[in-house]
């Protein structure tokens, strides 16, 4: 399910797009394609768009791996020079593991580490026991 | 979304796994199966070509790392062929450039196995 709304400029947000995909591996490509299409509307470089696609996919993969949701809900907020992605995780993301660079041949935390490395701002908000939201922002020309 | 996996033997007791397309959480099991099958058959020196790979995520990296771990247990090695700057960047960011041998062409990757 997807929907688009024109939003009055509030906190610099010019438009919002919402996307819900089934929490299954075969649907992650849809999230990647969606973010690429949205990012194309802003003056992001090709490299930035590739970064956004990867960060988007990693967030989806993390939620799928945690097996916590039937669906993945994403909100894309666009501004003049930034794109912010909100991913509802319902407890999937454990931010205490997010900042550690994987060492040696370990794969643990690799996806979240990539998100941290590729995006300009990464926040995690907790909403009690029900989980929280991963918020990732990329700025144009960063 | 697609992934192409082509395995071929070289003349020097090693195998080349050519990958093409996108390696993500959906397609990486197919890559894992191909690598696992080779290792189960006793082939521990592998060159994995990422030349035709347009995209790889952490699950794809995980498959490569898993393969490397297994061949190392048998004294083997995995070398990668990769010239795509976006893919190389992911190996740089994650520090995997220090774990894998990454080469610009298949010949150099094979030569470095022995």
Q: Is B47 helix (H, G, I), strand (E, B) or coil?
A: strand
Q: How far is the C-alpha of A46 from the C-alpha of A44, rounded, in Å? A: 7
Which chain A residues touch B86 with a CB distance below 8 Å? 47, 50
Q: How far is the C-alpha of B8 from the C-alpha of A141, rounded, in Å? A: 43
Question: Do A53 and B55 lie within an 8 Å CB cutoff?
Answer: yes
Distances in Å between the Cα of B4 and the Cα atoms of A12, B25, B100 are 43, 15, 22
- pLDDT of B99 above 50: yes
B42-57 pLDDT tens trace? 999 999 999 999 999 9
User: Closest-CA residue in chain B for A50?
Assistant: B86
Q: How far is the C-alpha of A26 from the C-alpha of A13, rounded, in Å? A: 30
Question: Do A58 and B58 lie within an 8 Å CB cutoff?
Answer: yes
Q: Is A129 on the interface with B (CB under 8 A)?
A: no
Distance from CA of B42 to the nearest CA of A (A): 21
- pLDDT of A110 above 60: yes
- pLDDT of B101 above 50: yes
A11-58 pLDDT tens trace? 788 899 999 999 999 999 999 999 999 999 999 999 999 999 999 999
The CATH class of A2-139 is alpha beta
ipTM value for the complex: 0.89
Q: How far is the C-alpha of B65 from the C-alpha of B97, rounded, in Å? A: 12
Which chain A residues touch B26 with a CB distance below 8 Å? 25-26, 28-29
Instruction: Name the phi and psi angles at B37, rounded to 5.
Output: -60, -45
Q: Identify the structural domains of chain B with CATH numbers, from first to last.
A: 3-111 (3.30.750.24)
Distance from CA of A25 to the nearest CA of B (A): 5
User: Closest-CA residue in chain B for A26?
Assistant: B26
The pLDDT, as a whole number, for residue A4 is: 46
Q: Is A103 on the interface with B (CB under 8 A)?
A: yes
This prediction's pTM: 0.88
Contact assessment for residue A114 and residue A58, using Cβ atoms and an 8 Å cutoff: yes
Question: Do A28 and B25 lie within an 8 Å CB cutoff?
Answer: yes
User: Closest-CA residue in chain B for A57?
Assistant: B57
Q: How far is the C-alpha of A66 from the C-alpha of B99, rounded, in Å? A: 27
């Amino acid at each position: 399910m997807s929907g688009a709304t024109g939003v009055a400029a509030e906190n610099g947000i010019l438009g919002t797009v919402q996307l819900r995909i089934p929490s299954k591996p075969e649907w992650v490509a849809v999230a990647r394609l969606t973010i690429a299409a949205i990012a194309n509307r802003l003056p992001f470089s090709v490299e930035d768009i590739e970064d956004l696609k990867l960060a988007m996919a990693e967030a989806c993969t993390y939620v799928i791996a945690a097996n916590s949701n039937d669906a993945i809900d994403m909100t894309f907020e666009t501004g003049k020079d930034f794109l912010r992605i909100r991913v509802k995780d319902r407890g999937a993301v454990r931010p205490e593991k997010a900042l550690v660079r994987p060492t040696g041949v370990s794969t643990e935390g690799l996806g979240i580490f990539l998100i941290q490395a590729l995006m300009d701002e990464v926040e995690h908000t907790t909403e009690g026991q029900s989980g929280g939201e991963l918020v990732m922002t990329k700025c144009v020309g960063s | 979304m697609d992934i192409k996996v082509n395995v071929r033997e070289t003349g020097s007791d090693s195998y080349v796994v050519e990958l093409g397309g996108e390696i993500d959480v959906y397609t990486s099991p197919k890559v894992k199966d191909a690598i696992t099958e080779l290792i189960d058959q006793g082939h521990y020196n592998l060159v994995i070509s990422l030349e035709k790979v347009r995209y790889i995520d952490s699950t794809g990296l995980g498959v490569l790392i898993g393969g490397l771990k297994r061949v190392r247990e048998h004294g083997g090695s995995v070398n990668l062929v990769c010239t795509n700057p976006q893919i190389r960047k992911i190996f740089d960011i994650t520090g995997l450039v220090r774990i894998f041998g990454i080469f610009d062409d298949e010949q150099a990757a094979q030569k470095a196995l022995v």
